[in-house]
Amino acid sequence: MGDIEYRCTVRAALRLDARHVEILINSHGTPSPVLAASWLGAQVRWCVGALGSHDPSGGQLQAWLENDTAQWALLAALTAGQSAHVRICHGTSTVELCAQRVVKAPAVVTP
Assess whether pLDDT exceeds 60 at residue 1. Answer: no
| Predicted pLDDT of residue 66 | 93
Per-residue pLDDT tens over the stretch 29-85:
999 999 999 999 999 999 888 888 788 888 888 999 999 999 999 999 999 999 998
Number of domains, the chain: 1
Q: Is residue 31 part of a domain?
A: yes
Task: Specify if 69 maps to a domain.
Answer: yes
Q: How many CB atoms lie within 10 A of CB 16?
A: 9
Is 110 a member of any domain?
Answer: no
| Domain span including residue 11 | 4-103
> Rounded mean pLDDT of 11-17?
82
